[in-house]
Amino acid sequence: IQLVLTSVTHYSIPEEMKEGSVVANLATDLRLDVKTLNERKIRLDIVANKKYLDVNKETGELYIMEKIDRELVCNTKSSASCFLRLEIILENPERIFNLDVEILDTNDNAPQFRRDVMYLDISESTPKAERFSLSHAVDPDVGSNSVKTYYLSESEYFNIEVQTARDGSKISELILLKQLDREQQAVHNLTLTAVDGGKPARSGTASVIVRVLDTNDNKPTFDKSLYNVKIMENSPIGSLVLHLNATDFDEGSNSDITYSYSLYTSEKTQETFHLNPTSGEITVMGMLNYEDFNIYDMEVIATDKGANSLSGQCTIKILVEDMNDNHPELSIKSFQSPVSEDIKLDTVIAVVSVSDKDSGENGIVDLHIPDDMPFKLRKSSDNYYELVVSEALDREKVPEYDITFTVTDRGSPPLSDNETMTLELLDVNDNVPQFPKSFYTIRVMENNAPGALLESLSAFDPDLHENQYLVYVIIEKEISNTSMSMLFSINPEDGKLHALKTFDYEIEKEFLFHIEARDSGSPPLSSNVSVHIIIVDQNDNAPVIVSPWRAHGSVVEEKIPRSTDKGSLVAKVIALDTDSVHNSRITYQFLQVTDATLFSLDQYNGEIRTMRMFSYRDPRHQRLVVVAKDNGEPALSATVTIKLSTEETAVKAYSDMTEVPLEYDIFSDLNLYLVIGLGSVSFLLLITILVTIVLKCQKAKPSKAAPPSRNSVISERNSTIADSTLVSNDAYWYSLFLAETRKGKLVVRQPVPKGSRYIVSSIPRGTGLTDTSDSAASTL
């Protein structure tokens, strides 16, 4: 194989060219035929280097395969030049071309310091213009792209000077411009910047921390030159008086401080107070007594532990304050108890004196009583107070007051003392008796037993003793010449109301009067209450059949035509009941009937009518027993027996055989009986009203003559009729007399007014209350 070597071809390219960038056309520069490059198998051989370049066999161009970093390819420290040695090899015929590709430097690296932080320790006593070496920066680039100069951040204490070393590198030195003071600034933070000469220029920085070393150039200093301290007497041993704090701006042993008394501090002060040499605390070491010694002066020295120790001093004045160790005292000079509840305002109740052995604020005292009391304190002279009445008193609301006098000084903390006195109030008759209700409605069932309890009408009086003892009386009021005290009585001590007589609803239905409750005070006070007595009806009166009229126990006989039509009125039963509306409501019904299909009875009006016409089978005589029953509980009743007889009636015949209806006779026997019955009832009612009016007109006004004794028999009359009854229609008469009906005796119930006249009648039973035809009357 014959190799033909050619001369070396030289190329220069900058580093960091992009991949694919064309360096040169080898076919042109080496005068090769581009068309034969592929056949001759042209290739690039690199000597001792990575393959950064290659040849395009189609065009013969030399191009970049991988980006070239000059600092990695070449050692810039040994040579400023950097070459890549290449060989171009062709076959048929074999030829080798030598290529030298020079890699030109670009400013692609910034200067870097070996240490990012540099520490310098400089004593604050170092003179100015002193120099200190700094670490230099390194830049991998060469030539003008390497480090050119240094810059230092602005500082009034430091500057730098840039110098060129023997190898051409740039170095810097730190120069002290003026003397340092650690107490003003202990650390200086500087920034050193290295700049290369590339375009554009690149730079790198490092921190320079200058630590100023201390020298003992500052003396200890107290916060104040003069301390004024107050302390209470009797402060316990060990109590802190003052914590001194001296400051030394030096550090280390130069700032360690010890405290001591100066020679100007008295021995008594040093014996009374202890000074801690390390902490500077001054504490109580002996007993403090304000009365013995109340001002202490001392001088304290603070010394540091530097080689050449420095010291400072201060003056302390301790003032011992009086302690509030005496309780205030109070004394009740006079106290008035008990007092009347109607005592006048501003009346003096008590006199109190106060005192305190302390002085100043500790000896000033104030006297107080509770705010919620009707009293106030009034200062009469130094340390003397009067307790006076400020509001009206009311024993019924508050019977007594526990008044607490509290005396308090103005010390800190304040001390106090107190004393309690009890003020009793005497009762005054200033409250009227009070009933629970202003109006009482009492319902009393008629036929009550005499002396029955009706109601307890007790009142309340909040006063005491005789002012609350109540007496109850009925306020007199006459009704139909009858005093209320004759009908009712009230227990004067407990207010229980009783009935003195038996009431009859049919005679008297209600009473309205007043009851008075009077206390025993002086003057007495009273109040009254209205009492409404309502008599409640009992079903104590049986119905009385007034129509058809018949003698006692007899049977009523009626005659009716046998040709009576259906629905014709046969008879009408009328009964009266003197009870109240509810008890006097009467219903009628058959008790016995011969033929229940022949007659009907209206249960409300008592009419008996035919239910059909008489037949020839019906008996001629019909017996009807009708019962009249009231609505009371239990119900009372009366019966009447009606004997009906039927009779034939003749009908006149006319020659022409024409039937002529019978003329209705309005004065038939049945109608005649009804007219007579109704007229009798009306007549009896009229006679009753007239007798009542006459009796009331004849009553005379009661006189003051002494009444006869109760229960004495004032009249006895033997009636010729064995079964008779003493009667009177006057309710007032019943309140005075008791008629013993079977014995014919008249007994006194109540005192009888002198000059009064009464008519007493004896009427046989069964003749009716108003039938006086067979009566015997006498005037009393």
Give me the torsion for CA of 163, 166, 169, 174, rounded to 10°: -30
Express the helix, strand and coil content of the chain in percent, nearest 5 each.
10, 40, 50
Rounded CA gap, 343 and 389, in Å?
Answer: 8
Per-residue model confidence as pLDDT tens digits over 329-364:
999 999 998 999 889 999 999 999 999 877 788 888
User: Residue 86's pLDDT is what?
Assistant: 83
Q: What is the pTM of this model?
A: 0.40
Mode of pairing for the β-strands spanning 240-243 and 281-284:
antiparallel
CA angle 728, 731, 735 (to 5 degrees): 100
Q: Whole domain around residue 256: which residue ranges?
A: 221-321
Question: What secondary structure, in 3-state letters, does 589-613 show?
Answer: EEEEECCCCCEEECCCCCEEEECCC
181 and 254 belong to one structural domain: no
d(CA 228, CA 17): 83
What's the chain's Rg over C-alpha atoms? 73
Find out whether 39 and 91 touch, Cβ atoms under 8 Å: no
Q: Read off the pLDDT of residues 113-172 as tens digits, 9 standing for 90 and up.
A: 888 899 998 888 888 888 888 888 888 777 778 888 999 999 999 999 888 888 778 888
459 and 519 belong to one structural domain:
yes
Structure tokens at 188: 């200086």
Domain holding 121: CATH number? 2.60.40.60
Among 359, 393, 424, which residue terminates a domain? 424
Give the Cα separation of 442 and 511 in Å (integer): 10
pLDDT at 771 (0 to 100): 38
Burial class (CB in 10 A: 0-12, 13-18, 19+), 503: buried
Q: How far apart are CA 331 and CA 779, in angstroms?
A: 89
**Of the residues 618, 647, 676, which one is the last residue of a structural domain?**
647
Residue 718 domain-assigned (yes or no):
no
587 vs 541, 555, 601, 681, CA distance in Å?
15, 21, 10, 19
In a domain? residue 303: yes
Peptide bond into 619 cis (omega under 30): no
In a domain, 759, yes or no: no
Residue 758 has pLDDT above 70, yes or no: no
Residue 660 lies in a domain: no
Both 519 and 493 in one domain: the answer is: yes
Who's near 78: CB < 8 A, 6+ residues apart? Answer: none
pLDDT on residue 764 = 47
Query: Do residue 341 and residue 420 come from a single domain?
Result: yes
Check residues 701 and 58 and name the one with the higher pLDDT.
58
Residue 153 lies in a domain: yes
166 vs 113, 163, 171, 285, CA distance in Å? 19, 10, 10, 76
* pLDDT band per the 50, 70, 90 thresholds, residue 367: very high
Neighbours of 434 (CB within 10 A): 13
**548 lies in the same domain as 635:** yes
- Strands across the sheet containing 453-456: 453-456, 496-499, 488-490
Question: Given a cut of 80, is residue 186 above it in pLDDT?
Answer: yes
> How far is 373 from 667, CA to CA, in rounded Å?
97
Residue whose tokens read 């006194």: 748
- In angstroms, the CA 744 to CA 758 distance is 16
The per-residue pLDDT for range 9-35, each reduced to its tens digit, is 888 888 888 888 888 888 888 888 888
d(CA 257, CA 311): 9
- The reply to whether 477 falls in a domain is yes
pLDDT (0 to 100) of residue 479: 66
Q: Which of 167-176, 342-351, 402-411, 660-669 has the lowest mean pLDDT?
A: 660-669
- pLDDT of residue 313 exceeding 50, the answer is yes
Q: Is the pLDDT of residue 717 over 50?
A: no
Residue 503 belongs to a domain: yes
What pLDDT does 207 receive? 92
Are 381 and 345 within one domain?
yes
| 180 and 208 co-located in one domain | yes
Per-residue burial over 261-273, b = 16 or more CB atoms within 10 Å of its CB, e = otherwise: beeebeeebeebb
**Spatial separation of the C-alpha atoms in residues 58 and 423, rounded to whole Å:** 135
CA angle 218, 220, 223 (to 5 degrees): 125
What is the average per-residue pLDDT within 651-655?
A: 38
610 burial type by CB count under 10 A (0-12 exposed, 13-18 middle, 19+ buried)? middle
Q: Do 347 and 363 fall into the same domain? A: yes
Select the highest-mean-pLDDT range: 63-72, 491-500, 751-760. 491-500
| 274 and 338 assigned to the same domain | no
pLDDT band for position 673 (50/70/90)?
A: confident
Average pLDDT value for residue range 69-82: 71
Are 193 and 253 in the same domain?
Answer: no
Structure tokens at 441: 């409605």
pLDDT of 600 higher than 70: yes
Please tell me the total count of domains within the chain. 6
Identify whether residues 561 and 639 lie together within a single domain. Answer: yes
- Among 647, 675, 710, give the residue marking a domain's end: 647
Given a cut of 70, whether residue 236 has pLDDT beyond it is yes
Could you tell me if 558 and 474 lie in one domain? no
Measured distance CA(170)–CA(779) in Å, rounded: 170
Residue 88 CA, distance from chain mean position: 107
Find, among 233, 119, 135, the residue nearest to 187 by Cα. Answer: 119
For 38, the 3-state DSSP assignment is coil
How does the average pLDDT of the chain come out, rounded?
81
Model confidence band, residue 220 (pLDDT cutoffs 50, 70, 90): very high
> Which residue did the predictor score with more confidence, 274 or 32?
274
Whether the per-residue pLDDT at 671 is higher than 70: the answer is no
Q: 764 lies in a domain?
A: no
pLDDT band at 699 (very low <50, low <70, confident <90, very high): low
Which DSSP category does 136 fall into? P
Contacts of 390 (CB under 8 A, 6+ apart): 345, 346, 374, 375, 376
